[in-house]
């Protein structure tokens, strides 16, 4: 694996070089929210952030996306693919949990039999540069509970480890290596002990949430009073699922004006009353209880059944931002106690 | 005060005077309290009440009662059992309960009000701003101080400076009605300038007002947390979710969001108690209060109406007085 050492003072030059290759998107402070936005120089990148408020999944699976347009003409329907040629992008400063979420989304959107071109083409055109959490401070993070590491490279093309004065850079994939020249030519000396940094970081994150151990319990508690007790105070706002890097439910609808129409795909959320509501008016998940069960089951059982992975990366966004403090860690722990 | 609250709740549950007590409990995130439903008398220990309790719990009272009724829809009337909901209620919460009663959402014997005096609650956005948006690792509330631990060290903040805007000008911070009151009545807040902000805003030229509205609506992601926490928003099916006809589109068009919010706002005329819950749960920091407060002011100026301050009143839009003040506004809006 190729490695580089970059002086902190060299970041400005690095970002400038990257910006010449492709659009660079990084966490930016925006009126109190840290959001992924396009940057042209390193100054606008947030100096200190636990993580962005919005998960970077939106770069591959946008909140609202036109899939195609159609027009009624005398000769019949004219269809038009709305896929504009994909531009190259670099995501700079993604956290390891979010990079891992890209791999989980790949499992669904990029299967051998079914591949979602909208998602896949954006993934292919994007290079992911991860900023490892060498100093994880948030009490809401629990990536280690998922068997992940706060300095892990899953889903990353390039991994950066902040060592204080310098940044230790690892080039994980060929896509990452293609940007090698932007990172200068200083090779790290063999005496730098990144392993110690990694091990220390891992001990700072809460590893006690039994996310991977509850699947067999979930197999047997489709009917259980627990679901009602979780759902009772839920506002059905979907904040948890919209901010979640792994949630990926969508709803397709047509917007038609006169002879012109567009088919759009919007994020959906199992927390919404309209989720899975059928045309007849019937909804198999008509209560918040049923919807919260779906959220838990999808993450910790169905996705495991289908892909052998848990659909959570422990980023803690849903924990931090739920307006009524429904805490998925507590939910998982309650299930484990059954 | 908390010990009396817990004791009261425990006794109510043990004596089967109530089926459930809706209150607040310690949250899992630093400096947050969370709504809780207590049915087991022993769990009454979990109840808390302090300046970090933000949500108006009247919404949950309505939820529990309407869900209980829905579950018994197919039973003969004489077989149906009422559920009595105990609720920890501060001034604004009781105003919502009064409104719900006036609007015949439930009857007085279905609720048991545990009134608590209130000195306002902490606006989490102000709290976050006070520590420069950095991560809050831990914190505590003592007297008039909030101590916050951040990666940069410990900081002591003045509680009074962190209170939500609506609390700062609240004129009804003691329960309007209650079955039992806990603690001494709270000192009044400073409500003299209650409408100052809206008056200033209303004096701006139309274009500026509209662009402010449009800018705020641009932030909105239509999660509907504002509507869902609101005790006055209890329609079983909101127009925003109707699909036949579809009143508002589901895509990213700015006008859809504006229409959604305009409709909701107007449904709040004479029905908003200014509890600030919608603002506190909004994940995007949309300034809904500016517009709600204007409607509040209009209800007062035009109809002499204040939401939920008197059980005997009728809601502003349920009465027609022949000599309504400024009634020409109906004809020349
Ligand atoms: S479920 Fe919560 S903690 Fe897990 S990935 Fe989603 S937002 Fe993060
Ligand atoms: S963020 Fe909280 S209140 Fe909103 S839908 Fe999720 S669990 Fe429910
Ligand atoms: S609006 Fe009044 S009663 Fe309500 S929380 Fe604020 S101070 Fe208390
Ligand atoms: S809570 Fe905020 S973001 Fe959500 S719908 Fe209401 S105003 Fe919009």
Flag the least confident range among A44-53, A201-210, B99-108: A44-53
CA nearest ligand 1 atom 7, residue: A244
Strand B85-89 with B111-115, pairing: parallel
* Contact between A255 and B34 using a beta-carbon 8 Å cutoff: no
Domain of residue B208: give its range: 195-333
What is the CB < 6 Å shell around ligand 2? A 234-240, 271, 322-324, 326
Per-residue pLDDT tens for B272-297?
Answer: 999 999 999 998 889 999 999 999 99
Residue A204: count of CB within 10 angstroms of its CB? 16
Residue A254: count of CB within 10 angstroms of its CB? 11
Examine the domain organization and report whether B81 and B158 are in the same domain: no
> Which residues are paired to B229 by β-bridges?
none
Of A294, A310, A289, A252, nearest to A116 by C-alpha is: A252
Across A197-225, average pLDDT: 95
Closest Cα of chain A to B190: distance in Å? 27
Closest Cα of chain A to B279: distance in Å? 10
Examine the domain organization and report whether B173 and B211 are in the same domain: no
Query: What are the b/e assignments for B186-203, b being 16+ CB within 10 Å?
Result: beebeeeebbebbeebee
CB of residue B229 inside a 6 A radius of ligand 4: no
CB of residue A315 inside a 6 A radius of ligand 1: yes
CA angle B119, A33, A333 (to 5 degrees): 75
Domain boundaries, chain A: 3-203, 215-337
DSSP letter assigned to residue A86:
P
pLDDT value at residue A262: 92
Per-residue pLDDT tens for A21-33?
Answer: 999 999 998 877 8
pLDDT value at residue B284: 86
Q: Which position has the higher pLDDT, B317 or B48?
A: B48
CB of residue B122 inside a 6 A radius of ligand 3: no
The model's confidence at residue B135, banded by pLDDT at 50, 70 and 90, is confident
The Cα–Cα gap between B76 and A235 comes to 31
Query: Which three-class secondary structure state does DSSP give residue B21?
Result: strand
Residue A302: count of CB within 10 angstroms of its CB? 15
Share of chain B above pLDDT 90, in %: 78
The Cα–Cα gap between B56 and B275 comes to 7
Chain B residues with CB under 8 Å of a chain A CB are 27-30, 32-37, 55, 60, 63, 125, 128-129, 133-135, 137-138, 151, 221, 223-225, 228-229, 241, 249-252, 280-283, 285
pLDDT value at residue B216: 94
Asked if residue B170 has pLDDT above 60, the reply is yes
Examine the domain organization and report whether B230 and B130 are in the same domain: no
Task: Give the atom of ligand 1 at the shortest distance from the alpha carbon of A243.
Answer: 7
Residue with tokens 């100096």, as numbered in its chain: A47
Examine the domain organization and report whether B30 and B6 are in the same domain: yes
Give the DSSP H/E element, type plus range, for residue B88.
strand B85-89
The Cα–Cα gap between A62 and A57 comes to 7
* Contact between A255 and B251 using a beta-carbon 8 Å cutoff: yes
The model's confidence at residue A274, banded by pLDDT at 50, 70 and 90, is confident
Chain A residues with CB under 8 Å of a chain B CB are 29, 31-34, 48, 50, 63-64, 137-140, 229, 232-233, 235-239, 242-243, 251, 253, 255, 264, 266, 273-274, 319-321, 323-327, 329-330
The Cα–Cα gap between A79 and A92 comes to 36
Terminal-residue alpha carbon distance, chain B: 49
The model's confidence at residue B252, banded by pLDDT at 50, 70 and 90, is confident
pLDDT value at residue A83: 67
The CA B238 to ligand 4 mean position distance, Å, reads 15
The CA A245 to ligand 4 mean position distance, Å, reads 20
The Cα–Cα gap between A214 and A230 comes to 16
Structure tokens given for A122: 């954006």
Of A262, A245, A244, nearest to A253 by C-alpha is: A262
Chain B residues closer than 8 Å to A28 by CB:
none
- Looking at every residue in chain A, the average pLDDT score rounds to 93
> CA neighbours within 13 Å on the CB side: how many for B17?
16
Examine the domain organization and report whether B215 and B145 are in the same domain: no
* Contact between B241 and A29 using a beta-carbon 8 Å cutoff: no
Flag the least confident range among A76-80, A83-87, A303-307, B190-194: A83-87
Examine the domain organization and report whether B210 and B105 are in the same domain: no
The Cα–Cα gap between A107 and A286 comes to 29
Examine the domain organization and report whether B101 and B139 are in the same domain: no
Structure tokens given for B20: 């459930």
DSSP character string of A288-332:
HHHHHHHHHHIIIIIHHHHHSS-S-----HHHHH-TT---HHHHH
pLDDT value at residue B247: 87
Best mutation site among A326, A331, A332 for ligand 2, i.e. most ligand atoms within 8 A of its Cβ?
Answer: A326
Sign of CA dihedral B130, B131, B136, B140: negative
Structure tokens given for B33: 């309290």
CB of residue B166 inside a 6 A radius of ligand 3: yes
Residue B306: count of CB within 10 angstroms of its CB? 18
Q: Where are the beta strands (DSSP E) in chain A?
A: 2-7, 23-30, 33-39, 64-73, 76-81, 89-94, 126-131, 158-162, 166-171, 250-257, 260-267
pLDDT value at residue A170: 96
pLDDT value at residue A80: 86
Tally helices (H) and strands (E) across chain B. Answer: 11, 9
A33, A64, A137: residue with CB nearest B252: A64
CA nearest ligand 3 atom 5, residue: B120
The model's confidence at residue B322, banded by pLDDT at 50, 70 and 90, is low
Asked if residue B152 has pLDDT above 90, the reply is no
Examine the domain organization and report whether B212 and B137 are in the same domain: no
Structure tokens given for B324: 């309504």
* Contact between A235 and B228 using a beta-carbon 8 Å cutoff: yes
The model's confidence at residue B318, banded by pLDDT at 50, 70 and 90, is confident
Asked if residue A325 has pLDDT above 90, the reply is yes
Examine the domain organization and report whether B300 and B180 are in the same domain: no
Strand A260-267 with A166-171, pairing: unpaired
CA nearest ligand 2 atom 2, residue: A322
Asked if residue B333 has pLDDT above 60, the reply is no
Asked if residue B233 has pLDDT above 60, the reply is yes
DSSP letter assigned to residue B186:
P
Across B182-194, average pLDDT: 92
Across A135-161, average pLDDT: 95
Asked if residue B221 has pLDDT above 70, the reply is yes
Give the DSSP H/E element, type plus range, for residue B48.
strand B47-48
Chain B residues closer than 8 Å to A323 by CB:
55, 225, 229, 280-283
Of A191, A197, A160, A134, nearest to A11 by C-alpha is: A160
Asked if residue A98 has pLDDT above 90, the reply is yes
Strand A23-30 with A89-94, pairing: parallel
* Contact between A137 and B137 using a beta-carbon 8 Å cutoff: yes
Crossing angle between the packed helical segments B206-219 and B254-267, to the nearest 10 degrees: 100
Asked if residue B321 has pLDDT above 80, the reply is no
Measured in whole angstroms, the distance separating CA A9 from the mean position of its chain's CA atoms is 29
How many independent structural domains does chain B possess?
3
Across A250-275, average pLDDT: 91
Sheet of B138-142: strand order equals B138-142, B145-150, B153-158
* Contact between B225 and A239 using a beta-carbon 8 Å cutoff: yes
DSSP letter assigned to residue B162:
G
CB of residue B117 inside a 6 A radius of ligand 3: no
């Amino acid at each position: 694996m190729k490695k580089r050492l970059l002086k902190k003072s060299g970041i400005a030059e690095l970002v400038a070089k990257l910006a010449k290759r492709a659009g660079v998107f990084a966490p930016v402070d925006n009126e109190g929210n840290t959001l992924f936005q396009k940057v042209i120089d390193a100054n606008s990148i947030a100096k200190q952030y636990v993580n962005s408020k919005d998960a970077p999944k939106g770069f591959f699976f946008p909140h609202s996306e036109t899939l195609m347009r159609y027009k009624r003409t005398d000769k019949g329907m004219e269809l038009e693919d709305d896929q504009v040629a994909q531009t190259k992008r670099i995501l700079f400063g993604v956290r390891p949990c979010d990079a891992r979420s890209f791999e989980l989304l790949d499992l669904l959107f990029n299967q051998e039999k079914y591949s979602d071109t909208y998602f896949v083409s954006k993934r292919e055109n994007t290079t992911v540069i991860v900023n490892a959490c060498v100093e994880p401070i948030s009490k809401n993070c629990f990536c280690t509970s998922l068997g992940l590491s706060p300095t892990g490279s899953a889903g990353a093309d390039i991994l950066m480890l902040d060592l204080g004065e310098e940044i230790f850079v690892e080039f994980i994939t060929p896509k990452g290596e293609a940007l090698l020249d932007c990172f200068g030519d200083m090779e790290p000396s063999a005496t730098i002990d990144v392993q110690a940094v990694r091990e220390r970081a891992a001990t700072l994150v809460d590893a006690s949430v039994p996310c991977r151990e509850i699947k067999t319990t979930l197999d047997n508690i489709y009917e259980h009073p627990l679901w009602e007790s979780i759902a009772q105070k839920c506002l059905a706002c979907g904040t948890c699922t919209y901010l979640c890097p792994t949630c990926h439910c969508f709803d397709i609808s047509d917007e038609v004006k006169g002879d012109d129409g567009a088919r759009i795909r919007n994020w959906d959320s199992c927390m919404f009353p309209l989720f899975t509501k059928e045309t007849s008016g019937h909804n198999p998940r008509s209560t918040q209880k049923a919807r919260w069960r779906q959220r838990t089951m999808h993450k910790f059982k169905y996705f495991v059944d289908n892909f052998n992975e848990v659909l959570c990366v422990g980023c803690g966004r849903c924990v931090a931002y739920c307006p009524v403090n429904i805490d998925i860690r507590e939910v998982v722990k309650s299930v484990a106690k059954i | 005060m908390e010990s009396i609250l817990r004791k009261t709740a425990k006794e109510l549950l043990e004596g089967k005077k109530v089926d459930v007590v809706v209150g607040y409990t310690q949250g899992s995130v630093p400096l947050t309290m969370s709504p809780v439903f207590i049915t087991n008398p022993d769990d009454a220990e979990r109840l808390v009440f302090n300046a970090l309790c933000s949500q108006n719990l009247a919404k949950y009272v309505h939820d529990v009662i309407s869900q209980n009724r829905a579950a018994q829809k197919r039973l003969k009337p004489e077989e149906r059992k009422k559920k009595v909901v105990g609720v920890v209620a501060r001034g604004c919460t009781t105003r919502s309960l009064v409104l719900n009663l006036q609007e015949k959402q439930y009857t007085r014997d279905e609720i048991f009000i545990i009134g608590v005096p209130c000195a306002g609650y902490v606006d989490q956005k102000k709290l976050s701003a006070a520590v420069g948006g950095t991560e809050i690792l831990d914190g505590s509330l003592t007297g008039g101080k909030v101590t916050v631990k951040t990666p940069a060290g410990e900081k002591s903040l003045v509680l009074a400076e962190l209170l939500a805007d609506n609390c700062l000008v609240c004129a009804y911070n003691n329960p309007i009605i209650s079955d039992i009151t806990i603690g001494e009545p709270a000192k009044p807040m400073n409500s003299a300038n209650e409408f100052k902000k809206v008056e200033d805003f209303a004096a701006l030229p139309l274009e500026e007002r509209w662009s402010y509205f449009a800018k705020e609506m641009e932030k909105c992601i239509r999660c509907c947390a504002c509507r869902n926490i609101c005790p006055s928003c209890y329609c079983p099916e909101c127009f925003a979710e109707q699909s036949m006809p579809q009143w508002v589109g589901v895509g990213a068009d700015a006008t859809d969001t504006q229409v959604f919010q305009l409709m909701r706002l107007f449904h709040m005329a004479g029905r908003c108690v200014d509890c600030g819950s919608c603002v506190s749960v909004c994940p995007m920091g949309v300034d809904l209060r500016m517009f709600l407060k204007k409607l509040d002011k209009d209800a007062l100026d035009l109809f002499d109406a204040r939401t939920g301050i008197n059980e005997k009143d009728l809601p502003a839009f349920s009465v027609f007085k022949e000599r309504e003040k400024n009634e020409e506004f109906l004809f020349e809006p």
